[in-house]
Amino acid sequence: MQTVVLAAGEGTRMRPLTAAQPKPMLPVAGKPLLEHTLDRAVEAGADRLIVVVGYESDRVQDHFGSHHGGVDLEYAVQEQQRGTADAVSAAAPLLDDEAFVVLNGDALYDPASLETLYSNGPAVGSYRVDNPSAYGVLQLADDDDTRITGVVEKPATPESNLINTGAYVFPAAAQELLGVETSERGELELTDVLEAVCNQFSVTAVPFDRWLDVGRPWELLAANEWLLESLSTRLDGEVHDGADLSGPVVVEEGATVKSGVCIEGPVYVDSGATVGPNAYVRGSTYLGPGAKVGNAVEVKNSILMAEATVGHLSYVGDSVLGQRVNFGAGTKVANLRHDGEAVRLTVKGERVSTGRRKLGVIVGDDAKTGINTSLNAGVVLGTGMTTQPGEVLTHDRWE
C-alpha cells in the first residue's frame, strides 16, 4: 500500500539535538529514527514510500536515496510547516487514486500492530495511556468499541484513555479532504481530516500493543532502549582478547574494542568507534560512528552521536551527547535526584517532568567540558557551549 511518512518538522522540543539535523534523522540503535519507521512500514505491507521533507531536507534525501527495503522511495517538500494535513497535501500529487497510509517519521510502532493497521482500513492506530489529556483522545461509537466517530485534541476531561497514535489508513477520497479549514492552532490538521472521514466511512480503531512518540530528548533514550531489546550479537569489528563482552553486543566493521574493556549488552558500537582500554559500557547504549570512549570511562544507558568523545576518567549515565561533543578528563554526570523525584528537563523554555527517575544530561553538537566538570541531572548544554575546568553546572547553558 502507498505510504506517506511525515518527516518535515524541525523538532523544536528536541533542541539542542535538532539544531543542525531534523528530528527523524536522530540516531537510535544504529539507524536514524526515520529508517526504523520505514523498515517497519515495508514489513507491514508498504509497496511505495513517499517521505515528506522540509527542515534540513537534504540530509534525509542524501541518506536514503530513491529506494528503501526494495521499495521505491519518493520525496515531497513541505515548504512551510503548517500542520500535518498540509504535509500530506504536499505528497498528494504523488499519490495514486487509492487508499493510503500516513505515518509519523519520528514515532515507533510495534510491527505486528502496524501490520494489522495496514490490513484494516479505513483505520487509525490507538493506544491507551495514563495521561490522555496530553494527546488526541479517540471517540468511540456507542454501539461499537472498535469504530471511532472522531477525535478530541488534548481535552481537559477526556472521555477515555484511548488516544490517536498518528498512524492512519485513509480511503482514496480523503485526498479531497486535505484542504479542510485550519484548526484553532492555525494549522491544517490530519485529525480534522479524520473527523471528516468518520462522517463518510466506518473507521476502525486498531489497538497498538506498543507505541512511542519520540518528541523530546528523554524519549530518544526510550526509543534506543526499545530497539536494542531485539539486538543480536554480531562482532564484525576488532575485539581484543582482553575484552569481556556479555549480553547482546554489536561491534560494527571498523570499530575497535580494546583490552580491559567490559561491555554488558545490549550495546551497539558503530563503525569507526573505539572503546577503551579499561572502559565499562553497559545498559542500552549506542556509540555512534567515530565515537570514542577512553581509558577508565563508564558509559551507561546513553547515546553518543557521531564523533562524540568521552576521553578518560569520566562517567556518563542516561544521557544524550550530540555530534562531536568532547568531555574533558574527569567529567562526571549526575543522573539521579536526591529526593527521588523524576528528573526535570527544559523543553521550549519550560522545565517539565520527564517521568524518569534516572536522567543525566542532554548535550548539543560541538559542546565541550573542561576537566573535572560536574553536570547535574537534567542539565542541558547547548550547541557549542563550554564549561571551565572544575566547574559544577547545576543549570542549563544555552549561550
- 231-236: Cβ within 8 A, 24+ apart: 231/29, 231/265, 231/266, 231/268, 233/265
* 3-class DSSP state of 147: strand
* 228 backbone dihedrals φ, ψ, rounded to 5°: -80, -10
> Three cell numbers at 21?
539535523
DSSP states of 303-328: EE-TT-EE-SS-EEES-EE-TT-EEP
Sign of the alpha-carbon torsion through 156, 157, 163, 169: negative
The answer to whether residues 372 and 329 touch, using CB atoms and an 8 Å cutoff, is yes
Residues 6+ apart with CB under 8 A from 294: 276, 279, 309, 310, 311, 312, 314
Pick the closest to residue 363 from 9, 17, 4, 126 (CA basis).
17
Residue 250, CB-side half-sphere exposure with 13 Å CA sphere: 21
What is the arrangement of strands in the sheet containing 332-333, beginning at the earlier edge strand?
244-246, 262-264, 280-282, 298-300, 315-317, 332-333, 374-375, 392-393
Show the beta-strand stretches assigned E in 176-319. 203-207, 211-213, 234-235, 238-239, 244-246, 249-251, 256-257, 262-264, 267-269, 274-275, 280-282, 285-287, 292-293, 298-300, 303-304, 309-310, 315-317
Strand 144-153, strand 136-141: pairing: antiparallel
* 3-class DSSP state of 238: strand
Which member of 67, 240, 312, 395 is catalytic?
Answer: 312
Pick the closest to residue 282 from 234, 315, 235, 254 (CA basis).
315
DSSP state of 64: H
User: Which residue stretches of the chain are H helix?
Assistant: 33-44, 57-64, 84-91, 111-118, 190-200, 217-228
Q: Is 312 a catalytic residue?
A: yes
Point out the residues that are catalytic: 312
